[in-house]
Amino acid sequence: MTIINFTPISSVIGGLLIGLAVIIFFIGNGRIAGVSGITNNFLFSKINRLDNFLFLLGIILGPLLYRFFTGTTIPFVIDSSLILLVSAGLLVGVGTAIGGGCTSGHGVCGISRFSSRSIVATLLFMFAAIVTVYVKGMI
Amino acid sequence: MNRFCSLFSGLIFGLGLTISGMTNPEKVINFLNVARSWDPSLAFVMIGAILVSAPFFYLVKNKNKPLFAESFSWPTLKEIDSKLIIGSLLFGIGWGLIGLCPGPAIASISLIHHSSFTFILAMLAGFSLVRAYNLIN
């Protein structure tokens, strides 16, 4: 194993901001800032629809704000195989809907509340993702 | 005021995702690639976020009302059931295949990339499948 492209400082700063966003959403609206749940509710529930929309809009505008202030382009390098993109999207959609959360809802908010459900969920999706990357790398 | 709060929180969230590097699927894949060439950065995103929000959730426990809503919506599920386990494993496989999870996927809409749109449409289809299944049963 070799260490590559290590950016601990910008990653910690980004993490602190995500934590701050979680605090603002909870202290203001009383709700958990889990992106899969909010997107799901925005699609299928009339309750809090405008708030869910505005939160998602904010996330979409975040990268633009960054580009505006720094003038740098945001790297986005992705495997563009159609079959992989569709399978991955379906698995992420189905998985987070069944499992009740994703990296933000379980990984950040849940662990911060010391929820045993979220700790188990995070260990499992991290494990599955690491194994998937390992297996994909062998093919 | 809660409208402003939702938008502002989303903005900070999106900004955080961008600064941290999580919006780049290649960086996420390098983070997950622990056995080969590993980029540990994204562990620091989670540490940074939890460092701020864990003390907050502890302090807010005894408060009875948020600033702009009637009550706090604390998650109520406690049980570690097969849905949690299977769902999380499926999510992890999808995350590892491409390197996008829901937050960065939504943020990447503004980067206007066809692969990101394809992924998001499939993710929304996934939400819809579970929704339809739950309605039938």
Reported as a pLDDT band with limits 50, 70 and 90, residue A139 is confident
Distance from CA of B88 to the nearest CA of A (A): 5
Instruction: Establish if A77 belongs to a structural domain.
Output: yes
**Is A20 domain-assigned?**
yes
List the single residue in B44, B65, B130 with the smallest CB-CB distance to A12: B44
Please tell me the predicted confidence (pLDDT) of residue A74.
95
Give domain status of residue A1, yes or no.
Answer: no
Residue A2 lies in a domain: no
Give the CA distances from residue A43 to residues A32, A91, B41, B114, in Å, rounded to whole numbers and listed in that order: 17, 18, 33, 21
Range of the domain at A13: 8-138
Structure confidence by residue, pLDDT tens digits, B91-101: 999 999 999 99
Integer CA distances (angstroms), B18 to A24, A36, B5, B58, in order: 18, 18, 20, 27
CA distance A45 to chain B (A): 11
* B52, B99, B116: residue with CB nearest A23: B52
In this prediction, residue A1 has a pLDDT band, given cuts at 50, 70 and 90, of confident
Count of the separate structural domains present in chain A:
1
* Disruptive mutation site among A48, A67, A103, A131 for chain B (greatest number of B CBs within 10 Å): A103
β-strand partners of A2: B37
Residue A29 lies in a domain: yes
Ranges of chain B with pLDDT below 50 = none
Q: What is the per-residue pLDDT across A42-84, written as a single tens digit (0 to 9) for each?
A: 999 999 999 999 999 999 999 999 999 999 999 999 998 999 9
> Hey, what's the torsion of the CAs at A61, A66, A71, A73, to 10 degrees?
-80
